[in-house]
Structure 1
Amino acid sequence: MAVKRISSDIDVVTAARQRIKNVFSNGVPVYLSFSGGKDSIVLADLTYKLIQAGEINPSQLTVLFVDEEAIFDSIEATTKAWRKKFLLAGAKFQWWCIEVKHFSCLNELSSDETFVCWDRRKRDVWVRQPPPFAIRNHPQLRPRIDNYQSFLPRVTMDGIMITGVRAAESIQRLQYMAALNMGAKGITGTNTIYPIYDWKTADVWLYLRDQRIEVPEVYLQMYQVGVNRNQLRVSQFFSVDTVPVLVHLGEYDPSLMERVLRREPNAYLAMLYWDSEMFHRTTRKRRELEGEDTKDYRALLKEMLFVRPGDFFNTEHKRKIAKQYRKMFIQMDGMARPRDYKKMYGGLTAGDPKLRTLRAIYQDISCAYADYAKRFRKGGEANG
C-alpha cells in the first residue's frame, strides 16, 4: 500500500500536545500506555505538563504499566518515579504484574516457544519480584493465554488509550498507521490514539534533552558498548526484535544477566550465535566467516513449506506462521527476487511471531514489482 506524506505548518511537539488535549476534551476516561522506554517517557512528560498547566483533567487519566518481569532495573526505577509523579498530580497508575504470554525466539530447539511473564510455576527463578502495589490478576484476564496487546483493550473499552508508538520505527507501523482511518476498524474502532506517531527518533532524543528529562541509565550503557542509536530498545528480552539487548547485557549488567540466565537458560545463545542464521543476521562479519552464499532459498522454502512441513514446524504457533508464509510464497512466486526468498527463509528460521518480517517482505516485493512495471511501460526493460 502506498503511503502519502503531508507536511504540516506546526512542529511535532505542538501537534502532539494538541492531540492529547483533543483526547481529553471528549470527557471519557483516558488510558496512557507506559513502558518506561524513551517514547513512552516523552508521551508521559507531554501529558504530565499539560496537567500541570491546567489544560487537561488528571481525574480522567489512568496510566497503565504492564511489567514484563524481565526488564532492566533502571526501567523499574524510572517507572516508579513516574508513578509517584502521576499519583501526586491526581491521576491513577496501574502497575500490572500478570501472567501474559510472549513468544521466545530462544526456544527454537524445544516444542514450547512461549515465555509467560510472572509464571507462577517458575516463581523461584523470577528475574525480579513484583512491587507490593502491583495488580496480580483481573477477571477479564485469561492467564497464560492472553498477551498484553489482547488484554489491555478489554480493560480500556470505556475510554481512549494513548500510546507512544511511532511510524518511524518500522515500515510495518508506518503502513498500519496510514490505514487507520480506512473503514469501520479505523482509529475510533480501536480506541487508540498515537499522539507522537509522526516523531522521528531524533525528535524524541531532542525533546528529552531540551526538557532535561532523565532517561533510564540502560540507554547510556547500551550506547557505550556500541549499540546504534536507532536500535536502543529496552523492551522484554526474549522476542526476536528485542533479543539483541542480551548480546552485551553481561558487559554492563552482569548481575541482571545472571538472573536472566536462571529464568531463561537459553539466553546465552544470543551471545554465542548472534551473527548467525538463528537470529536472522546478515552482517559483514557473518559473510566473511561463512563465505559466499550459494544456497537456493526458493528450493529450501519449497521443501519447508510444501514437501516436509512437519519436520520444520512442530508447534501450533509455528504452523500458523508457516501457513502465512505459504500464502505469501504462492502469491509472490514469480515476482519475488532471490533476496526476497532469502528473507522469507530467514523469517521462518529466526521466528516471526508478530509477522513483521512477512509484512516487510510483502511491501518490498510489491514496491519493487511496481517499479519494474513502470519502467517496463516506459520501455526501460525492453531497451535494457
Structure 2
Amino acid sequence: MGKRSLGVDVLTAARQRIARVFDDFPRIYVSFSGGKDSGVMLELVADEARRRGRRIGVLFVDLEAQYRLTIDYVAEAYERHADVIEPYWVALPLNLRNAVSQFEPQWMCWDPGRRADWVRDPHPSSITDEEFFPFFRRRMEFEEFVPEFGHWYGGGKLTACFVGIRTAESLNRWRTIASGRKRPFEGLQWTTWIKGGPTYNIYPIYDWATEDIWTYYARERRPYNRLYDRMHQAGLTIHQARICQPYGDDQRKGLWLYHVIEPETWARVVARVNGANQGALYAREAGNILGRIKVTRPDGITWEEFAHRLLESMPLPLADHYKDKIAVFLRWYQVRGYPDGVIPDEDVIAKGKPSWARICKVLLRNDYWCKGLTFSPPKSSPGAYEKYKKLMTKRRAQWQLI
C-alpha cells in the first residue's frame, strides 16, 4: 500500500480530522506521555477545545522512573491548558516490563511496599488513591489500564481518545493505521475501535514525519519537553530521541542516557530496579544489549544444548516461564511437519523458520514474552497467569516437550 497525497499539508489535515472528531464525539480525552508527538497532539486538541468552548480529559500515566525534565514539562502543560482540560495524572502501582534482569523480569512502579526506594515522590497533582478508579487493581498492566480508563471516562457515551502515534515510527504503528481487520469509526482509517465500549483511538498525526513535529513547535512557538535538547547534546539524532519507561524490551537501549542527562535521577534508577546498571553498560558499549542483533554459542555444543544450559542458569520460575513458551513453539511445528518436535539446530536465524538458534536468541535477549517466537504479551486479568501455568503443566506432560 503506497502513500497517497491528500492535497493539503499535514497540519491542515490533522486539524480537519480533529474538528471532525469534535463534531461527532461527546467525550474526548488525550493520552499524554510528555513526549514530542503526544505534546503536539495535546496542543492541537486543546486549541480545538478552546475554539468550541469545550473541556477535554488529559491522561498522563506516571511510571515513576522518569526524567525530572519530563515531569516538569507535563506539569507546565497541565497548568497552561487548565482552562480547557480535566487533568488525570495517574501514579498508581502498575506492572511494567523489566528487560534488563532475569531475577526481576517485571517491576511495579509506585510499589507501596518499597516507598523508600521510589525514584521520586509523586507529583502533588497525582492520583495515588487505589480506590479512585472503580476498575483499578494493583499490578494491572499499563496496556490494560489505558483502555479501561477510556471506558470509565466515557461513561457509556461515544468517546474519542487522541493518541499521538505516527506511521513513520515503526512497522507496528503503520499496521495500526493500515489494518484491514480493525473496526474504524465510520470508515475513517485513522481511527480504531477499542473493545469493551463505544471508545475509539484517534490518530490525527499518523502521517507526520519527525521533521513535521519539530517544525510545528518552531513555527507555532509552543513549549516542548526540554529533555530532547539534552538528548541532542548527548549525540542522538531527532529520529533516535524517544521518551518512555526505561526498562522495557525496546526502551532499555536508552538507559545509558540517564546518567549523562540527569545523574541524580540515574542514582535512584539504579537502586530501584535490578539490572539497570548492567543494561546501561551493555547498551552503550555494544548497542546490542542481551543479544539484540547477533548471538553466538560456545564452541563444541549445539544450539539446542546451549538453550538448555541457558535455561538451567536462570531462576527456576523464569526458566519455567520460558519452557512453557518453548513447549508451545515446538508443539506448533510438531503438528506442522516436524515430528516429535525435532526442529533444525541451524546457525542462521531466519524469521518464520523454527530453529534452536532462534530460541537461544530469545533467551539471550531476555525476551520475556518471546516476541521473537511470534508470541504476544497476554492481556492480564485476575488469576489468568496462574490458570495458564496450571494448563501448561498438563500440556507439557502430555506433549513431553522441554
Contact 1:96 1:135 in 2 (8 A): yes
**In structure 2, C-alpha distance between the alignment counterparts of 1:205 and 1:343, rounded to whole Å:** 39
- Provide the residue aligned with 1:87 in structure 2: 82
- Provide the residue aligned with 1:223 in structure 2: 232
After TM superposition, the structure 1 stretch with the greater mean CA deviation from structure 2, 323-332 or 167-176, is 323-332
- Provide the residue aligned with 2:126 in structure 1: 134
1:38 equivalent to 2:47? Answer no
Give the residue type in structure 1 aligned to 2:119.
Answer: V
TM-score, normalized by length of structure 1? 0.77
Aligned length: 340
1:153 equivalent to 2:156? Answer no
Identity percentage of aligned residues: 26
In structure 1, list runs of 5 or more residues that go unmatched.
288-292, 361-384
- Provide the residue aligned with 2:201 in structure 1: 192
Per-residue CA shift, 1:283-321, capped at 9, x if unaligned?
9xxx9xxxxx6879x95268638x996766843654565
1:351 equivalent to 2:366? Answer yes
- Provide the residue aligned with 1:379 in structure 2: none
**In structure 1, C-alpha distance between the alignment counterparts of 2:368 and 2:11, rounded to whole Å:** 33
Per-residue CA shift, 1:242-281, capped at 9, x if unaligned?
1223213212321111111221252111232222764334
**In structure 2, C-alpha distance between the alignment counterparts of 1:161 and 1:196, rounded to whole Å:** 13
TM-score, normalized by length of structure 2? 0.73
1:114 equivalent to 2:106? Answer yes
**In structure 2, C-alpha distance between the alignment counterparts of 1:201 and 1:181, rounded to whole Å:** 27
1:47 equivalent to 2:39? Answer no
**SS of residue paired to 2:168:** helix
Give the residue type in structure 2 aligned to 1:200.
Answer: A
Q: What CA RMSD, in Å, does the superposition of the two structures yield over aligned residues?
A: 3.4
**In structure 1, C-alpha distance between the alignment counterparts of 2:91 and 2:305, rounded to whole Å:** 43
Give the drift of 1:42.
0.8
Give the residue type in structure 2 aligned to 1:224.
Answer: Q
Contact 2:183 2:193 in 1 (8 A): no
**SS of residue paired to 1:197:** coil
**Aligned mate of 1:246, from 252, 255, 267:** 255
Give the drift of 1:236.
0.9
Give the drift of 1:181.
5.3
**In structure 1, C-alpha distance between the alignment counterparts of 2:39 and 2:372, rounded to whole Å:** 27
Give the residue type in structure 2 aligned to 1:245.
Answer: G
**In structure 1, C-alpha distance between the alignment counterparts of 2:373 and 2:22, rounded to whole Å:** 36
Give the residue type in structure 2 aligned to 1:304.
Answer: A
After TM superposition, the structure 1 stretch with the greater mean CA deviation from structure 2, 182-191 or 23-32, is 182-191
**SS of residue paired to 1:31:** strand
**In structure 2, C-alpha distance between the alignment counterparts of 1:178 and 1:16, rounded to whole Å:** 17
**In structure 2, C-alpha distance between the alignment counterparts of 1:239 and 1:319, rounded to whole Å:** 21
After TM superposition, the structure 1 stretch with the greater mean CA deviation from structure 2, 324-333 or 269-278, is 324-333
Give the drift of 1:188.
2.6
Give the residue type in structure 2 aligned to 1:142.
Answer: R
Q: Which structure dedicates a bigger proportion of its chain to helix?
A: 1
Distance 1:21 1:295, change over 3 A: farther
- Provide the residue aligned with 2:381 in structure 1: none
- Provide the residue aligned with 2:90 in structure 1: 96
Give the drift of 1:322.
4.2
Contact 1:86 1:92 in 2 (8 A): no
- Provide the residue aligned with 1:163 in structure 2: 163
Per-residue CA shift, 1:124-155, capped at 9, x if unaligned?
011111122211222211211x1222112122
The equivalences for 1:1-384 within 5 A come to 3-52=1-50, 54=51, 56-59=52-55, 61-88=56-83, 90-108=84-102, 110=103, 112-136=104-128, 137=130, 138-144=133-139, 146-157=140-151, 158=154, 159-179=159-179, 182=182, 187-190=192-195, 191-274=200-283, 275=286, 278-282=289-293, 300=303, 304=307, 314-315=317-318, 318-319=322-323, 322=326, 326=330, 338-340=348-350, 345-353=360-368
- Provide the residue aligned with 1:375 in structure 2: none
Distance 1:344 1:309, change over 3 A: closer
Distance 1:189 1:250, change over 3 A: closer
**SS of residue paired to 1:25:** helix
Per-residue CA shift, 1:194-217, capped at 9, x if unaligned?
111222222222222222223222
Give the residue type in structure 1 aligned to 2:307.
Answer: M
**In structure 2, C-alpha distance between the alignment counterparts of 1:198 and 1:51, rounded to whole Å:** 22
Give the drift of 1:355.
6.1
Contact 2:29 2:162 in 1 (8 A): yes
Distance 1:153 1:294, change over 3 A: closer
